[in-house]
Amino acid sequence: MKSGSLKNIKNAKQLHERGLISEERIEGIEEVASRFSLSITNEMADLIEEGDDPIARQFVPSVKELNVTEDELADPIGDNARSPVKGIVHRYPDRCLFMPMTVCPVYCRFCFRREKVGSAESGLSRKELEAAFAYIESTPQIWEVILTGGDPLFMKPNLMKRIISRLSSIDHVDVIRLHTRVPVVDPKRVNGEMLKALNTDKALYVVLHANHVREFSKEAKKTIAKLVDSGIPMLSQSVLLKGINDDPAALENLFRELVRNRVKPYYLHHGDFAKGTSHFRTTIEEGRNLMKKIRGKVSGLCQPTYALDIPGGYGKAPINPDYLSEDEDGSYVVEDYRGVKHRYPQSPRQAP
């Protein structure tokens, strides 16, 4: 639905004015939006062809979000339990998350930080930012800093520049990583000034969050190319989402599109237990079956690790399907991509 020069969509009335919801849905969506933030960029609104297509389902609120199940949590991956200072989550010894701000250009309806993002308190104050830098500077085991949030590429280039140059000045920090959705949802934001701000002699990676091939507009592809051409390696993370990408063709198309655009698929996340998101969650069995279906059919380059975050802040666990089992005689049985089982090694070795 073409928007012309309209501003980003921020409320139910605007959704209706842009033809994205019927009048009857306004009241319900107002209630959802009073609970969880709402924003849709023009770029994403322009890609919506039908009210329940894979783009609409990711960004247009649904009253289903008011259904909070017993197993859902305000902090589903346990960020708070692992936060030594505001804006830092230190879960693994050699890396930490750094969240200078909690705003995004879009609010994904399945976001695992939906209780935090888009709140009135949008980022760290100058003093809090200093405390976060001080924590990283005084913790020599931190080798990698992951800027996330909120969307780090949503910040102003001059703040990004300050953050990248300060992190780059810390001897023990070798790697800076940015987790972002901006190159697809708000591609023009990655302008020359932002590219300059990302310039560093440390290894800097950009990890793109994308869930469906239709997110790759012409502008998005150009922006990804700009990032890669400026020497930034790109990886991706996607969320397995019921009704959006939970079929082999949708995943295959997404992963091929990422690789075609020089982005290596890195993680496929199993849906977290964020409040009001049960309508998006698949079972782990469904996720593993999907991974099995694309194995062999799609180049290894196109295959991410299927993983879940352990509630409570214990980190990620890979949950890829198993292809190897041990037999009673101590040898292995290994399954090929067609599902045919083979003994490994093929015959017992002869004693010399």
Collapse the DSSP code of 9 into the 3-class scheme (helix H, G, I; strand E, B; otherwise coil) and give the result: strand
3-state secondary structure 165-186: HHHHCCCCCCEEEEEECHHHHC
| 209 touching ligand SF4, by CB under 6 A | yes
Strand partners, 205: 177
**To which residue do tokens 């237990």 refer?**
273
Q: d(Cα 130, Cα 119) in Å, to the nearest integer?
A: 22
Contacts of 259 (CB under 8 A, 6+ apart): 265, 299, 301, 302
Comparing CA positions, the residue from 322, 295, 239 lying closest to residue 58 is: 239
The gap between the terminal CA atoms of the chain, to the nearest Å, is 73
Helical (H) or strand (E) element with 51: none
Closest distance between ligand SF4 and the C-beta of residue 181, in Å?
Answer: 4
Amino acid at 291: M
Q: Which residue has the tokens 């972002």?
A: 180
Interface with ligand SF4 includes 269 (CB under 6 A)?
no
Q: Which is nearer to ligand SF4, 111 or 176 (CB)?
A: 111
Smallest distance, ligand SF4 to C-beta of residue 112, A: 7
> For the chain, what's the residue count?
352
Count of Cβ atoms closer than 10 Å to residue 265 Cβ: 24
In this complex, which beta carbon is closest to ligand SF4, that of residue 88 or of residue 108?
A: 108
Instruction: Give the x/- contact pattern for ligand SF4 in 109-128, rule: CB under 6 A.
Output: --x-x---x-----------
Could you tell me the smallest distance in angstroms from the CB atom of residue 348 to ligand SF4?
A: 51
Q: Is 49 exposed, middle or buried (0-12, 13-18, 19+ CB in 10 A)?
A: exposed
We find the least distance from the C-beta atom of residue 109 to ligand SF4, in angstroms, to be 9
Number of amino acids touching ligand SF4 (CB under 6 A): 11
Q: Which is nearer to ligand SF4, 61 or 149 (CB)?
A: 149
Measured from the CB of residue 169, what is the shortest distance to ligand SF4 in angstroms?
A: 27
Nearer to ligand SF4, 170 or 304 (CB): 304
Restricting to residues 52-111, name those near ligand SF4 by CB under 6 A: 104, 107-108, 111
Q: How far is the CB of 57 from ligand SF4 (least distance, A)?
A: 13
**Cβ-based nearer residue to ligand SF4, 211 or 303:** 211
Question: Residue 201: phi, psi to the nearest 5?
Answer: -90, 0
> Minimum distance between the CB of residue 77 and ligand SF4, rounded to whole angstroms?
12
**How does 324-335 read in b/e, with b if 16+ C-beta sit within 10 Å?**
eeeeeeeeeeeb
Write the interaction track for ligand SF4 spanning residues 147-166; mark x where CB under 6 A is met and - where it is not: --xxx---------------
Smallest distance, Å, CB 141 to ligand SF4?
26
For ligand SF4, the binding residue among 161, 181, 214, 292 (CB under 6 A) is: 181
Residue closer to ligand SF4, measured from CB, 60 or 294: 60
Cβ proximity to ligand SF4: between 183 and 287 the closer is 183
Distance of CA 337 to the CA centre of its chain: 28
Q: Which is nearer to ligand SF4, 118 or 157 (CB)?
A: 118
Q: Cβ 339 to ligand SF4, closest distance in Å?
A: 34
Residues 6 or more apart from 268 whose CB is under 8 A from it?
237, 238, 239, 240, 251, 287, 291, 304, 305, 306, 307
Residue with smaller CB distance to ligand SF4, 170 or 274: 274
18 in contact with ligand SF4 (CB under 6 A): no
Task: Tell which residue, 299, 250, 316, has the closest CA to residue 97.
Answer: 316
Q: Give the interface with ligand SF4 as residue ranges (CB under 6 A).
A: 104, 107-108, 111, 113, 117, 149-151, 181, 209
